[in-house]
Amino acid sequence: MKKNHRRRAAALPLVLWCIAFIAGLVVLLAGSVSSWMESETRAEKKFIARQMALSGIAIGQNPLVKPGDPLLGKGSRGTSGYEVKISNESAKINPNFWIQNNNRSIFIRLFTSWGADIGTTDAAIDSLIDWIDGDDFLSLKGAERGEYERAGKRGYPANRPLKHIREMEAVMNLSSLLSAKDGWQNAFTIWYSGKISIQHATESSLTALAEFTPMQCQSFLEMRAGLDGIDGTDDDQKLSSLEDVAAFLGLGSRQRAALLEFFDTSGDLRCIESTGWCGGVAHKITVVSGTDPHSQMMSWEEK
Ligand SMILES: [Ca+2]
Ligand SMILES: [Ca+2]
């Protein structure tokens, strides 16, 4: 009897230890299962948000759907849905095009309108020229292989046209100028090549590049948007002559010369930015493609 009692007494701590161990295991498992379920739910939400964004892209690519169309938005951020923004790449500056056409002045006007001084602007442009040109000849304030190597960056510059706008952040003397300007990416494109389309030009480029006064800008944008007040719709005023625009606004000779230097009446390349949501999770798809139904898609980015 005594022996059995001792055995039971010895077994008790073991049982208690087992209970504690199992309880710990349950808590641990519960934690893992809950975080696994959470990540599953997030993955599912991300999947649905992407499907939403894809629906938005399909609608935005339809040439019959114009800015302001109610089809460009569905649902809400809180639950699920999408929102599509349509803009035009031909309203932007293609650095490859302007550098290869030896035009510095467009960059001087843009960067000084951002508040950069002329020394910083010159160094940024010279370095962009050196990045794009195929040779190793150093521009006055630029940067070729030696300058990058001394800064500990081997294998630069690219010595070819930019393949992506974000590549500009790697250009010596240009990167700091760009990082001081929020949304600098919106000013540039590599998909559209040519002078800026006056049909799609933004207020900021008309002011910075052609020195439109605020009043001239307002008159021009109101005239161009037509009766509905929305750019990119069927009632827009079609602009077939820069001289007519200059005459309509009564531009001075300096403004007129800038208008002719930097702008053109042609150019049309749609940029569709679609954001899909599901339960607080967002997915964004940006597509650049021609407005012709048979035109090729030029760029597809997701994040
Ligand atoms: Ca070079
Ligand atoms: Ca319109």
Q: What is the pLDDT of residue 11?
A: 65
Q: Quote the ligand 2 centre to 226 CA distance (angstroms).
A: 4
What are the backbone angles phi and psi of residue 283, rounded to the nearest 5°?
A: -140, 130
**Residue 188, in any domain of the structure:** no
Nearest ligand (C-alpha, residue 232): 2
Q: How far is the CA of 72 from the centre of ligand 2 (A)?
A: 16
Q: What pLDDT score was predicted for residue 18? A: 63
Predicted local distance difference test score (pLDDT) of residue 4: 55
The CATH number of the domain holding residue 107 is 1.10.40.60
Closest alpha carbon to 268 in 217, 195, 178, 170: 195
- Considering the domain architecture, whether residues 127 and 75 belong to the same structural domain is answered as no
For ligand 1, the distance from its centroid to the CA atom of residue 193, given in whole angstroms, is 21
Residue of 233, 262, 255, 292 lying closest to 91 (CA atoms): 262
DSSP secondary structure, 97-133, as one string? HHHHTT--HHHHHHHHHTT--HHHHHHHHHHHHHHHS
Which class for 55: exposed (0-12), middle (13-18), buried (19 or more C-beta within 10 A)?
Answer: middle
In a domain, 36, yes or no: no
Instruction: Please check whether residue 256 lies inside any domain of the structure.
Output: yes
Q: Determine the distance separating the centroid of ligand 1 and the alpha carbon of 64, expressed in angstroms.
A: 44
224: tokens are 């161009």
Boundary of a domain, candidates 135, 161, 182: 182
Instruction: Please give the pLDDT value at position 290.
Output: 81
Closest ligand, as measured to the CA of 129: 1
What is the number of structural domains in the chain?
3
Q: Which ligand is nearest to the CA of 99?
A: 1
C-alpha of residue 103 to centroid of ligand 1, in Å: 17
Q: Are 87 and 131 in contact (CB under 8 A)?
A: no
Residues 62 and 107 in one domain: no
Closest ligand relative to 234 C-alpha: 2
Crossing angle (nearest 10°) for helices 105-113 and 253-262: 110
Residue 97 lies in a domain: yes
Name the closest ligand to CA 143. 1
125-172 pLDDT tens trace: 999 999 999 999 999 999 999 999 999 999 999 999 999 999 999 999
Verify that 162 and 204 share a domain, yes or no.
no
Q: The domain containing residue 285 runs over which residues?
A: 2-28+42-90+270-302
Query: In angstroms, rounded to a whole number, what is the distance separating the alpha carbons of residues 204 and 206?
Result: 6
pLDDT over threshold 50, residue 1: no
